[in-house]
Structures are given as C-alpha cells and as structure tokens.
Amino acid sequence: MKQFCLWLICLTLLSCHAAKDDLQLLQHVERFRLPNGMTFILLPKNGVPIFASHVRVKVGSMDESADEHGLAHLFEHMAYKGTVEIADFYNTLKTNGSVDANATTSYDFTNYKIMLPRNKLELWAYMESDRLKNGPVYDAFFTEVQVVLSERNKSVDNNPDGMMMEAFLDFAFENSPYKHHVIGSNAEIASLTPEKAKIFYNKFYTPSRMVVALVGDLDVNETKKIITKYFGEIPAKPNDYQKITPESYADFPKQKTITWPAADRFWLGYARSAFPNTDDTAFDFLSELLCKGENSFLHKKIVLEKKLAVSIHCRAAVPGGRLPSYFIVSGLPAKNIQNAQVVEAIRKELETLMHEGIPLTDIARYKAKLEADFIYSLESYSGMASKLSFYESFAGDWRDIYKFRSELLSVDSQTLQRVLKTYFIPTHEVVLMLQQEGVK
C-alpha cells in the first residue's frame, strides 16, 4: 500500500516544474544501460557520505494472473529472506548501517529502497545483484504467507480506508487487472506456493524491467565500474510478457452503498486514461487545485462554506497509472450529513468549474506552489532516487521531468475545463459510499 502512495506522490510531481536554475542539480545525472538491458541512473550529491538506492522493477499486482493474486507483494517479502549465497540478507544490511531498508509493492511496480553509508556501496552492489540474479530461498515461504495474512488483517480487514480501496476497485472495474487489491484476498494469499513464486520471478524479474537509481556521495566512474562488475553478471531474459485486458465501462454511472463498523465516508471516482496521456498534467493539477490546502476549491466550498464535510481528498490516478484508472474525490461527511448530499454538492461544484472556468489567479497560485514543492523535494536523497527511477521506468526516460515541467507551464483554464467536461461526467462516474453499521 505504501508504494501506491509513493506512486501518487511521484505522479503529483509529474506536474511540478522548476526554474531552470533550480534544476541544475539534475545536470549531473548519468544514465547508462548494461548489455543485459538493466538501466542505471546516477545522481552525485555531495555533502554527507551516504547514498540512496531505488531498484524499481516493472511488476505489480496488475501483472499477476488469476491464480497469482497477491504474489507480487508476497514475493517482495520473500526477497528479504536471503539467497543461497547470503543467508541473513536483512540483518547484514542493518548491521552495515542501512536505514529505510524497505520495499513496496503497488499495482504497477515493486520498489526496493535502501540508504547506506558511502563506504558500503560495493557491499550493496554485491548483495542487491545477488538477489536479483539468483532470487530468494523459499524455505520460509509458508511462514511468510502467515505474516502477509497478518498484514492484510491490519491494513484491509481492520482499516476502513483499506477496505474502501478494495471495495471500490472491485466495484469500479470489470475486466481490468486493477480490479483486485494488491495484497490479495485471504484465500488467494493462502493459495500461493513457492512454485508459483519461482515462475513469477523468472517471468518478471528480467533486467530490462529493472531501473536502478542511485543518489548520493558517488564517484560516477567508480560507481559505474562497480555496477558493471556486479549487475553485468545478471543474464538477459526475454521480456515479451504483455497482459492486455480491455476494460468495459458498461452501466455507468454506478453507485453502491456498503455497511461497515466505521464512520460514513465516500469515494467519488471518474474513469480516466492511462499514463502517458496528454491530459496527465491536467489531472495532477486538478488534484491539487481541488483538494490540497486550506484554500483549495472543494475544501473551501464543501468543508468551509457549506460545512457538508469535515475533510475532502483528491487523488489523480487510483490505483495506478500503467492502465486506465480513476480520479478520486473522497471525504468524510459532517455530523448529520449524508454521503449522498456531499457527493451531489461536489458534482455541482465541478459543474460550476466546467462552465465558468478557473480564475487565472488560482492557476498561478498553484503553479507557484507546485514549483516550490518540487525544489523542496530535491533535498531528499531517497526522494530523488524514487523520482528518477519512476520517470525512467514509467515514461521511459528520466528527462521527462523537463517535459512535464513545460506541460505544466502550459496548463490553462481552457485545458482544465476541457478535461473536466471530458472526464468528470456521469458516463465516467463511480460512487462508493460507506454507511456506518447499525446507523440509519
């Protein structure tokens, strides 16, 4: 689940731009590809003798077949169980000073991240390349199944937001691989086996699906040598697996109410295009303009003025971006207010924007915010590694940071109005409402 949020953060940044001077740091980026197809992005950042690495593998729950649901995530857990050569993978990293050693699986990607002191660079290369090349040992597979069931129990079965995500995806999608929750159902998780995991690993953990970003106190030439020495040994594998499942949008608009032992809440979704698309920047911009900050449009109208809700949130692409997804407006109704009242009020506000447009001053204000947010984000070693690997993996070239900057600069009221009129309409709409159990 964490990765999903990370993806959203990244996608938000797709619409961020920065003045040319502020992007100077990125002029030092080095990109190269090994003969086996694995891509590396290096960003030297002097100061503290540390580095951050993100290994982004283009495999998520959307790539799973029907009998593999939950496997991308379970495999990510197994990747810390050690290899034939390195028995205690996780503790070896920790003892050597790793922080933020974690991995996340989303609907689109699996991302292995870590930060280490600079003098552990070659250790990192040895360990990371070994697990990517040879895969994990599976001795503890069924114990880890129990751990993942425990994780699901916490993050979905006893978490109203996790439950809403699962219910929304199941209701909104018909055929799409996004229909099932990334963690899988209890039965699906319990049905996974080491044999399935090995097939999954061989199918998807191919060098050409992997992008590695390293940010930190790096000597580029030395780092390239180390990378070539260790990661160059990983054999190339075919990468011809392509899953195509056309989605059906019949019976729209769709609306459903479920009951659950938690306070009322709603998800209002609008079907949108997959990434990359010319409207991506507009969706990201709308997500900010409608919901982010005290003076954002929907927060101001629905929460502050009409007092219909206590909170409103927007997300530009749920649950991911590799396939068509949903723009989501979610929220919690105020006391004695029904979900349906809030949803109707939001529809009306969106219609107003469609017809009246968005004031230029608001657009300028959000451009300033997004520009600044991008510059602030450059401080984080791990954040930069995430961004670079994301752009490279998702868009095919990390330099699309510049492309999205120019697209953001061209966003205007007409573009936003067009996107609102194209997508934020009944034939794209799905509403899921949670009504508190036992309360009428």
Partner 1 sequence: MKPCFFIFFVVFLSAQMTAVWANPKIDELSNRQATTFYPPQVFEQTLDSGAKVYYVKDASLPVYEISAFVNVGRIHESEDSRGLTDLLTRLWPLGGTSNTEPDALIEKFDNFGAKVGADVSQEFLQLNLTTLAKYENETFALFFDLLQNPRFDDRKLQIFKSKVLSGMEMRNEKPIEVASREFPQMLLGEKNPIAWKSNADTIQSITRDLILNFYAEHVAPNQVTLVAKGPIEFLDFLQLCEKSMLSWSKPAVPRLPYPEFILPEMLPDKQWLQLPSTQSVVLMGHLSVPRDNPDKMKITVLNAILGYGVMGSRLGSRIRTELGLSYDVSSQVSNYATTGVFMISAVTAGEQVFAVLDEMQNVFKAFVENDDITEEEFGNTKNKILNQAIFQYEKSFDVAWQRFLFDSYGYEKGYLEKYYDTLKNMTLTEAKTVLKTYFHPEQLKILIVGDKSKVKDLSRLKEFKLRALDKE
Site for partner 1 in 191-220 (CB under 8 A): 217
Give me the least distance between CB of 122 and partner 1, in Å please. 5
The residue among 131 and 209 lying less far from partner 1, judged by its C-beta, is 131
Under the binding rule (CB under 8 A), the answer on residue 95 touching partner 1 is yes
Q: Give the nearest distance from C-beta 17 to partner 1 in angstroms.
A: 11
Binding to partner 1, residues 59-88 (CB under 8 A)? 80, 85-87
Site size with partner 1, rule: CB under 8 A: 76
Q: Which is nearer to partner 1, 150 or 248 (CB)?
A: 150
| Residue 42 β-bridge partners | 30, 214
Q: How many Cβ atoms sit within 10 Å of the Cβ of residue 193? A: 14
159 binds partner 1 (CB under 8 A): yes
372 belongs to the binding site for partner 1 (CB under 8 A): yes
Query: What secondary structure does DSSP assign to 250-287, as a single string?
Result: TT-SEEEEEEESS--EEEEEEEEPPSS-TTHHHHHHHH
Residue 49 CB, nearest approach to partner 1 (Å): 4
Strands laid side by side in the 254-260 sheet: 254-260, 429-436, 265-272, 325-333, 309-318
Indicate the residue among 304 and 409 with the shorter CB distance to partner 1: 304
The Cα–Cα gap between 137 and 79 comes to 8
Q: Are 268 and 330 in contact (CB under 8 A)?
A: yes
Residue 306 in contact with partner 1, rule: CB under 8 A: no
Q: Which residue, among 140, 139, 63, 60, has the nearest Cα to 107 in the 3D structure?
A: 60
Applying CB under 8 A, among 36, 96, 239, 245 the residue interacting with partner 1 is: 96
Between 45 and 272, CB nearer to partner 1: 45
Q: Binding to partner 1 by residue 356, rule CB under 8 A?
A: no
Task: Build a one-symbol-per-residue string for 25-44: x at contacts with partner 1 by CB under 8 A, - elsewhere.
Answer: x-------------------
Q: How far is the CB of 12 from partner 1 (least distance, A)?
A: 14
The residues in 405-424 that bind partner 1, with binding defined as CB under 8 A, are none
Cα(46)–Cα(65) distance, integer angstroms: 44
Q: How near is the Cβ of 345 to partner 1 at its closest, in Å?
A: 17
**Phi, psi of 328, deg, nearest 5:** -115, 130
Is 90 a residue that touches partner 1 (CB under 8 A)?
Answer: yes
CA distances from 423 to 26, 420, 440 (A): 35, 6, 33
Name the strand (E) or helix (H) holding 54.
Answer: strand 50-57
Q: 347-366 burial string, b = 16+ CB within 10 Å, else e?
A: bebbeebbeeebeeeebeeb
Q: Is 185 in the site for partner 1 (CB under 8 A)?
A: no
| Residue 208 or 228 having the CB closest to partner 1 | 228
- Supply the DSSP symbol for 334: P
Binding segment toward partner 1, per CB under 8 A, in 157-165, 193-201, 393-401, 422-430: 157-165
Element (H, E) at 115: strand 110-117
Cβ closest to partner 1, residue 114 vs residue 172: 114
The single residue among 50, 302, 323, 350 that binds partner 1, judged by CB under 8 A, is 50
Cα angle, residue 246 at apex, residues 241 and 247 outer, rounded to 5°:
130
Whether 244 and 139 have beta carbons less than 8 Å apart is answered as no
Residues 261-300 that bind partner 1 (CB under 8 A): 261-263, 293-295
Indicate whether 310 belongs to the interface with partner 1 (CB under 8 A): yes
Would you state the structure tokens that stand for residue 3, as one six-digit string?
């990765």
Interacting residues with partner 1 between 101 and 140 (CB under 8 A): 115, 117-120, 122-123, 126-127, 140
Nearer to partner 1, 335 or 440 (CB): 335
d(CA 412, CA 70): 41
Residue 359 found at the interface with partner 1 (CB under 8 A): no
